[in-house]
Structure formats: C-alpha cells, structure tokens
Amino acid sequence: MHLLIPEELLRLFSLDSALVLARIVIVLVVSLLLVKLVAFFTVQLFKKRFSQQSLMILKKGITYSGVTIVWMIVLAQLGLNLTALLGAAGIVGIAVGFAAQTSVSNVISGVFLISEKSFAVGDVIRVGGFAGVVLTIDLLSVKIRTFDNQYIRLPNEMLIKTEVTNVTRFPIRRLNVEFVVRYGTDLSRVKETLLNVARANSNCLDEPEPLFVINTFGRFGVEIMFGIWFVKEDFLAVKNSIMQGVHSALSEAGIEFAVPPAVHFDGGG
Amino acid sequence: MEMNARWELKPGQTYHWTLGVLSVWICRVDGEWLYAWNHRDEDAEPPVDRLSLVPDTPKPDDLPWTRVIAPDADHGVGFAPRLADRAVVIKGDEYITVLPRSNAELFAPLPVWVAVFSGASPERVLFEAPTQPLHRRWFGNSMQGSLCYSVFARLTSDRVELELPPVSALCTIRIRNQSSVPFRTDSVFLQANEFKLYRRRDADNPFAGLVSSSEVITVTGDNELSFSVASERAKQQQRAEVELVADWRKRPDDSWWKRGYVLFQRISNY
C-alpha cells in the first residue's frame, strides 16, 4: 500500500500528464483571451448603432457563452465525460437551487428586468430611498451611482418587487413649482409674472407651453402650481434658474408668499 | 460679391462686430484666438442687417472670453452665413387651412447663424452663433419628438408681402394635402439643418438675399404628416440667380421609408 502511492504520484506527474496540463493551460489562456477579444471587437463594431444597454447585453452574452464553451473544452481535455457531468450538474443544480434560492430569484428577476426594459444603462432611476444613474444590469443586481457619487448595489429581486421610477425615460420633463400666495393677490398678475419668467429662461421650452394651475384655496392662501417643460438633460440648470426667477419676479411684482402664522407660546400662567 | 466677409486683425487688439442683434468680440493674441458674443436687447437697439465693425465698444466685463488655441500665423477672420443646427418651428399668430386634396405654397423667414472662421478656410470654424436669440420648443408629444428652435413669424402665401426680418433666409414651404380632411395649422416644422443655403447673386452683402432649400409637407391623413427637403433641381435651374453659400449640416435622408421626419403620433397642435 505504501509503495502504491509514490507510483500513482509518479504517474500523475509524468511527462504525459504535464503535457496535458500545459495544453489545458494554453487552451484556457488563449480561449479566454479570444472570448475577451471577440466581445471587445463586437462591441466596437456595434458601438454607434446600439444603445449602451444593448451593448452591455451583447458583451455579457458573448462572454458568458464563450466562458461556458471554454470550460467544456477544458473538461473534455481532462477526459471527463460531459454527458455524465451535465446529468450530475442537473441534480447538483436542484440542490444548489434550494440552497441559493435568493440568488436564483435574482438571476430570474435580472432576466425579467432586461426583457421588460423598464430602464436601461444610463437612465436615472428612483428606487425606495435611492436615486441615481444605472451603471450596469447584472445577473444578480443592478448597480447605480447616486448623485453624491456613491455606488449602490440593488438586488434584482428587490427591483422586481418594488416600484421603480425611471426619471429620464422620456426626452422632456416638467418641473412643477408649487407655492402659496396670500388671499387677495391678483392671480392674473401672478400668472403673467410666472409666464414672463418662463419666457425669459432659455432652458424652458416654448412648447409644450408652461402650465399655470390654481390648485386649491388652502388654509393660508391660494395654492398655485406652475409647471414648465424642459429637456431632461437640463434639469439642474432649469430647477435652479426657475426657482430663483420665480422668487425674484414675484418679489419684484410685490406678490408675497403666504406662510403659516407664527404661534407664540408664552408658557401660560 | 465676396462669398464671405473677412478682416485682418492686429495682434492684441479687440474688435467688435454686430449683425442682427448679435455682438461679437474677437482678439488675436500669441497662438490663440479669444472670442465672446452676446445678444443685445432688441428693444433698446434695433437689429442691423449687415455685418459691421463697430470701433470703441469694449467687451462687457461679465462676458468671459473663450480661448481657441491656434499657433499658426494667420491673423484673419472670416464671417459666413449658416442655417440653424437643428430643426426650426415657425409659429404664426393665426391658423391657416389647406383644403383637402389641394396644394399650397407658403413663405417663411428662417433664422440665420454666423460662422466665424480663422484664416481663409471656412472649415476652421472658431465658433457659430445665431444672429437672433432663439427659444427652444419640442415638436412631437412628450414621449417622442425632436428639439427645435422656435421662431414667431407670419406664414404668408404672398412672397412680396413677406417682410423678412434682418438677417434671415427665405424658405418656401409646399404643403400637399393628399388627405380627405382639411389641414389646419398655425406652425410649420422646417428641417433647417438639412437645408442648403443660397444667396442671390445681386445681394449687396454676404448676409443679404439669402434663400434656403424648400420643404415639402405631405399630409396623408388626419394628423399624419411627412416632411422632406424639396429636390434641389429647381435651385440648380436658378443657378444664374443664386449661388450656394453653405451645404446642409445633416445629409437629408432620401430613402422612402425614412424620408423626412415622420411623426405618426397625434400631435396636439397639429
């Protein structure tokens, strides 16, 4: 028994085995490099025609299929029976599936997310308490970059179950500015002042026209909503300039915001 | 008539030009061009219809220079007219109606831009600026459409009656209403970035007598429109009268499937 072990070891480290091993390493390195190159050049080829999202799916599709084929080649080189292995993988898969329900659920959710096209790479989404730009949609999770530059990983399963707002789905958006003016204010003057603010702002679109809505007669004054349309990329510029413009224009026109009356409590007694 | 206006600048000296309501300041320094532009208040100063060098007008302090690195020894600048870099929607103050199965020809002014280039080659563009402030609008619905410039002007069927604003190009619009319903509109969508710009040979300055390609609007149904740039053959026949000043910015799509910009959606104001 003691003599057999060195013999087996010798066989394992024989020249033939070393050659097989070398061949496998070369096949592995060359094939993986080839897969990477194919993925890279395919992406370069379709860069101008496809969206970021489609390119990402294309790249991942090529990489995953390529890596699977490479491993099958390697296993064949090792002399393993692939049919038996795949059969075993099915059984193992069921066992792993039970053990890794969450991961499997994430993978399936990922497939649904990609096929549903609710959002794509580069879109700005709002999920739960997070908002940011979609960086990548992977098998298990979606990665977003928040506006204060944090990297957040959102599990696909969560995105399937939760309400997701795609902020940049459509090319134009409306910014709603809501405020309350005092009772007795000339509302037609308020409207004219606000429309002038929109006209003077080059980021506001002339069409669709700005929207002026008297929301309700509130507790402290008349509640107004003023909506202006803009191209989605201009959000920050529009928000800042419009808020500033509305504030200045109303002040200059002598129109005052209504604020809840301050209550002074002197402690009683 | 010179195709473009040209000036030789002395190094370190700031020059000021006006055209329309556009004011341009340019200075040539060692290895660099410095430029700045803004639009004057139209109510305070009326627009000017020819490019003119205005001495003794310093650049406003709050208007920053833009630097262009150009280490060559060229000290000349040229000015050439251009059309807008995206589509333009001309909105009139009244609606016009084209009866079913009939055609109409309208005329409208298109805003003109100025391209400022260094040296003799119009390809070395330092910057481009519109000669009038342009607002933007969306053409289409909120889910699909295109960003355009918005211009208020009266659409007229009488070319003589049309009062062209200073520094603008005359555009002919042909509406073919092939549908069985009247086509009513107060605005037209013009693919200015796909138009060529011509100038009448008898024009007395590079920014006068400008004429653009024509547009054909075909109405095939209720709110179903297609837009295409008219064949340039007619313009070529007028070669004796006009000369090409600027080519299109975006090549018009001639395929029948994609020809023009087709919007099948219900457009609220069309």
Query: Which whole-number Å values give the CA distances from A45 to A37, A38, A40, in the listed order?
Result: 12, 10, 9
Distance, in Å, from the CA atom of A34 to the CA atom of B123, rounded to the nearest integer, reads: 42
Contact A206 B133 (CB under 8 A): no
Confidence band for A115, pLDDT divided at 50, 70 and 90: confident
Section A107-113 average pLDDT? 82
Confidence band for A10, pLDDT divided at 50, 70 and 90: low
Within an 8 Å CB–CB cutoff, is residue B137 touching chain A?
yes
Lowest-confidence pick of A41-50, A190-199, A208-217, B224-233: B224-233
Q: How many CB pairs under 8 A join A and B?
A: 39
* Global confidence as pTM: 0.74
**Which residue, A263, A253, A124, A125, is CA-closest to A189?**
A253
pLDDT at A84: 73
pLDDT at B21: 92
Look up residue A120 and give its amino acid.
A
**Which residue, B262, B246, B232, B258, is CA-closest to B84?**
B246
What ipTM did this prediction achieve? 0.77
Q: What is the gyration radius of the CA atoms in chain B, in angstroms? A: 20
Fold assignment, A111-166: SH3 type barrels. (2.30.30)
Whether residue A100 has pLDDT greater than 80: no
Confidence band for B251, pLDDT divided at 50, 70 and 90: confident
Contact A207 B145 (CB under 8 A): no
Confidence band for B233, pLDDT divided at 50, 70 and 90: low
pLDDT at B265: 39
Q: Where are the alpha helices (DSSP H) in A13-153?
A: 15-46, 52-77, 82-99, 101-116
Contact B138 A202 (CB under 8 A): no
Contact A207 B150 (CB under 8 A): yes
Q: Tokens 């399937």 label which residue?
A: A160
Mean pLDDT of chain A: 86
Contact A207 B138 (CB under 8 A): yes
Whether residue A5 has pLDDT greater than 70: no
Whether residue A87 has pLDDT greater than 50: yes
pLDDT at B253: 66
Confidence band for A2, pLDDT divided at 50, 70 and 90: low
Lowest-confidence pick of A211-215, B36-40, B90-94: B90-94
Section A230-246 average pLDDT? 93
Q: Mind listing the pLDDT tens digit for each residue in A188-219?
A: 999 999 999 999 998 999 989 999 999 999 98
Contact B145 A170 (CB under 8 A): no
Distance, in Å, from the CA atom of B113 to the CA atom of A115, rounded to the nearest integer, reads: 45
Distance, in Å, from the CA atom of B184 to the CA atom of B197, rounded to the nearest integer, reads: 28
Within an 8 Å CB–CB cutoff, is residue B133 touching chain A?
yes
Set of chain B residues whose Cβ sits within 8 Å of the Cβ of A208: 138, 142, 268
Q: Mind listing the pLDDT tens digit for each residue in B102-160?
A: 999 999 999 999 999 988 777 889 999 999 999 999 998 888 888 999 998 888 888 87
Identify from B41, B135, B149, B270 which residue to disrupt to test chain A contact, counting A C-beta atoms within 10 A and taking the largest count: B135
Contact A206 B136 (CB under 8 A): yes
Identify from A173, A199, A207 which residue to disrupt to test chain B contact, counting B C-beta atoms within 10 A and taking the largest count: A207
Contact B144 A171 (CB under 8 A): yes
Query: Cα distance from B217 to chain A (closest Cα, Å)?
Result: 20
Within an 8 Å CB–CB cutoff, is residue A200 touching chain B?
no
Task: Evaluate whether the domain defined by A172-267 bears CATH number 3.40.1280.10.
Answer: no
Mean pLDDT of chain B: 85
Section A37-56 average pLDDT? 82
Confidence band for B261, pLDDT divided at 50, 70 and 90: very low
Within an 8 Å CB–CB cutoff, is residue B157 touching chain A?
no
**Which residue, B19, B51, B52, B16, is CA-closest to B36?**
B16
- The residue that leads in pLDDT, B48 or B225, is B48
Confidence band for A163, pLDDT divided at 50, 70 and 90: very high
Set of chain A residues whose Cβ sits within 8 Å of the Cβ of B136: 202-203, 205-206, 231
**Which residue, B134, B107, B131, B108, is CA-closest to B206?**
B131
The full set of domain ranges for chain B reads: 6-80, 83-111+133-249
pLDDT at B268: 40
- The residue that leads in pLDDT, A10 or A95, is A95
Whether residue A52 has pLDDT greater than 80: no
Within an 8 Å CB–CB cutoff, is residue B266 touching chain A?
no
Lowest-confidence pick of A53-62, A90-99, A156-165, B44-53: A90-99
The full set of domain ranges for chain A reads: 7-99, 111-166, 172-267
Distance, in Å, from the CA atom of A39 to the CA atom of A36, rounded to the nearest integer, reads: 5
Q: Considering only the top CATH level, what class is A7-99?
A: mainly alpha
Evaluate the CA torsion angle A51, A56, A59, A60 in order and state its sign. Answer: negative
Section A180-188 average pLDDT? 93
Distance, in Å, from the CA atom of A206 to the CA atom of B233, rounded to the nearest integer, reads: 35
Q: Mind listing the pLDDT tens digit for each residue in B16-35?
A: 999 999 999 999 998 899 99
Contact A208 B138 (CB under 8 A): yes
Cβ atoms of residues B163 and B175 within 8 Å: no
Query: Cα distance from B135 to chain A (closest Cα, Å)?
Result: 6
